[in-house]
Chain A
Amino acid sequence: MALFNRTPRAPLEYSRTLWLRGWVTAVMVFLYAPLIVLMVFSFNDSKRNVVWRGFSTKYYVKAWNDSTLVEALVNSLTIAALATLFSLVLGTFAAIMLWRFRFPFKGAVDGVMSLPIIVPEICLGVAFLIFFAAIDWPSGLIWPFNLSAITIAHITFCFPFVTMVVRSRLASFNKEQEEAAKDLGASEWQAFRDVLLPHIRPALVAGALLAFTLSLDDFVITFFTAGPDTITFPVKVYSMVRFSVTPVVNAASTVLIILTVVLTALALKYQGVKSIAESH
């Protein structure tokens, strides 16, 4: 890093001022140090988290042998995958509807559809708890149908995010392109598939990533919606953190962090840092 290079600084090269570099470095350390320490100590050969006793993977083995933990992870990934799929479809349709059509009460529909983004998680969680209790949603079904309530809740708060991302991408779409396609003989559906879909693809990737991580991330809503037999990964980790801090939590968390990084890297490889950042 050219921290101390001598070429004089032009006035707007703020990021070359020493104090700003120090500031950014400090913020990055603040953001990453806890995660890195957590990951490092997942390999610690000691029950207590604070003293390094040598390298070991035994807590990964332990985590792997903890069947409820593995089950929770599988549940979480299943829910996230389903929620992403449904959110993408619903969110894209909603975005296209709001972008393309004029219809009565459009402002109200738009507002209500983006409400799940701003309503606090706790309120949504409470609402789902009451809702599923009131309509007597069947519980104790076989896997994966026992996850349906949680999945429905996740779709509800994920798809408005997809709508938002896709809609901002649609704003840059030139409608004449679609008209040109139709002029050349494409049907409504062909025009959608061949012209509109390629244009919003970066937003779909970003929206999928967002929906997947939001779903995987969610604790509060799941906490209220989950029955005793439907444990998700965050709920499991929560109870582990609450009742016993063991390095197994570190190991499980490390797996999740690595999963996030891999997902991000995949999205980046597919789309490039810039477009992901922009569609945010």
Chain B
Amino acid sequence: MTEAKLPIISIQNITKRYPGAPVAAVDNVSLDIMPGEFFVLLGPSGCGKTTLLRMIAGFEIPTSGTILIDGQDMAAVPPNKRPVNMVFQSYAVFPHMSVEQNVGYGLRIAGVGGDEISSRVREALELVKLDGLEKRKPDQLSGGQRQRVALARSLVMRPKVLLLDEPLSALDAKLRAQMQFELSDLQDEVGITFVTVTHDQDEALSMAGRIAVMNKGEVAQLATPSDLYEYPANRFVADFVGSVNLFEGKLTLDEPDRAAVDCPGLGKVYLNHGVTGSHGSDVWVALRPEKIYLHVPGEGKAIRAAAQDAPEDHNLARGHIKGMSYLGDITLFEIKLDSGAMIRVSRPNLSRHDQEDFTWDDRVSMHWRADSPVVLLS
């Protein structure tokens, strides 16, 4: 193929201001979603995810901006005429209809013939593994099953895009993890574009092809899950996706292939790549807890050996353990640095007795690799 693929959904400068609200719920957002993509909108509660999704579905009218679906302007198209279907947060399974009737509802409305309806309904129910429950009423189903009815009801319409508003939020942790895999598999299988809303970062990271992180109605970053985690664009993303230690500092070295930041809280930080930012400017350093190595002081050689990719005195810190929580797979440490700042470090429990290596008030030293810290300008 020579020509680039066209976006299936193109959101251009969309703003939504609810009447009477002081700030916009969605503020000048632009996004392109590609066909066949698993796209996730991630953000804290109230950041405007649902509002954006409902504008795509046609239930809210944007205050300004344009939404194109498959190249067509949706401004004058009502929800029942849009080539997208939605799975609601509350599932909105019709309580007075059986599973079969629920799933066949859209097809009956569209005037599809009886035989085709029953075969397509059967197909959709098989897809979501609900075959055998055709005659049940929604109040005889579990939450997860109801969610799958809602999914089948939308999938059976063969929409160009499936919109899912927090599809897994009502499920318990186990079922949720299972459904995350099933949703991903399903999306591979049917090849429909999925746009999913969630405030759960694990869910987003595990399912998404690309993630748009939203904050206060704006898109804070748009990236793949690993980029989002490893290369957050700002403090909000770094903090919201995963956990992070943030330190304020001044850029002291700024060259194309290396950089250094002097942080009063953390000490001297060295990076083996260039950063955007000018010499002497105020920046933040983000360091993930799992990227920090923990040692007993005095194992000096080991430290120097490990930190050899950085100049002397860089990427090192010392402090006392002030808090510890054993989480099974890892142990989390709260460490008070000599500067007085607190830092969080996580350490995998590689053997059964690893958690016994350190305890409260132990003096420890830390180091990290020169490609671990991220320098953030905002």
Contact pattern, B 69-104, Cβ under 8 Å of A = 1, otherwise 0: 000000100110000000000000000000000000
Point out the residues of chain B lying under 8 angstroms from A9, CB to CB. Answer: 61
Which A residues lie within 8 Å of B60 (CB)?
A: 10
* B18 vs chain A, min Cβ distance (A): 11
Which residues on the B side are within 8 Å of A7 (C-beta)?
61
Kindly state the separation between the CA atoms of A11 and B78 in the bound complex, as whole angstroms: 7
B249 contacts partner chain A, Cβ-Cβ < 8 Å? no
Which residues of the other chain, A, contact B43 by a CB distance below 8 angstroms? none
Q: How many Å from the CB of A10 to the closest CB on chain B?
A: 5
- A13 vs chain B, min Cβ distance (A): 9
Give the CA-CA distance A8 to B59 in the complex, in Å.
11
| A10 to B59 alpha-carbon distance, docked (Å) | 6
Residues of B within 8 A of A10 (CB): 59-61
The answer to the question of B217 belonging to the interface, with a C-beta cut-off of 8 Å to chain A, is no
User: How far, in Å, is A16 (CB) from chain B's closest CB?
Assistant: 11
Chain A residues, CB < 8 A from B75: 8
Q: Shortest Cβ distance from B52 into chain A, in angstroms?
A: 15
| CA A12 to CA B60, docked complex, whole Å | 9
Whether A12 pairs with B59 at a CB distance below 8 angstroms is: yes
Chain A residues with CB under 8 A of B59: 10-12
Q: Which residue of A lies closest to B19 (CB)?
A: A7
> Which partner residue on chain B sits nearest A8 by CB separation?
B61
Residues of B within 8 A of A8 (CB): 61, 75
Which of A7, A8, A10, A12 has most chain B Cβ within 10 Å?
A: A10
Is B58 interfacial (CB 8 A cutoff)?
yes
How far does the Cβ of B94 sit from chain A's closest Cβ, in whole Å?
A: 17
Encode A1-21 as 1/0 by CB contact (under 8 A) with B: 000000111111000000000
Select from chain A the residue with minimum beta-carbon distance to B55: A10
B28-69 contact mask (Cβ, 8 Å, vs A): 1 or 0: 000000000000000000000000000000111100000000
Bound complex: CA A11 to CA B61 (Å): 9
Complexed CA–CA distance, A69 and B177 (Å): 78
Bound Cα distance A7, B75 (Å): 12
Shortest Cβ gap from A143 to chain B (Å): 56
A178 to B152, CA, bound (A): 48
The answer for the CA separation of A12 and B58 in the assembled complex, in Å, is 11
CB distance from A178 to the nearest CB of B (A): 33
A8 to B77, CA, bound (A): 11
Residues of chain B within 8 A of A12, CB atoms compared: 59
What's the nearest-Cβ distance from chain B to residue A15, in Å? Answer: 14
Q: A53 to B251, alpha carbons, bound, how many Å? A: 91
Q: How far is the CA of A8 from the CA of B62 in the complex (A)?
A: 9
Q: B99 to chain A: closest CB distance in Å? A: 26
Q: How far is the CA of A180 from the CA of B79 in the complex (A)?
A: 51
Bound: A10/B19 CA distance, A: 13
Q: How far is the CA of A192 from the CA of B78 in the complex (A)?
A: 55
Taken together as a complex, chains A and B put the C-alpha atoms of A11 and B79 apart, in Å, by 8
Q: What is the CB-to-nearest-CB distance from A211 to chain B, in angstroms, rounded to a whole number? A: 37
Interface string of B334-360 (1 = CB under 8 A from A): 000000000000000000000000000
With A and B bound together, what is the CA distance between A7 and B79 in angstroms? Answer: 17
Chain A positions within 8 Å of B, measured between CB atoms, are 7-12
Could you show 12 A-B contacts with beta carbons less than 8 Å apart? A7-B61, A8-B61, A8-B75, A9-B61, A10-B59, A10-B60, A10-B61, A11-B58, A11-B59, A11-B78, A11-B79, A12-B59
Given A11-B78, A12-B59, 10 more A-B residue pairs with CB atoms under 8 Å apart are A7-B61, A8-B61, A8-B75, A9-B61, A10-B59, A10-B60, A10-B61, A11-B58, A11-B59, A11-B79
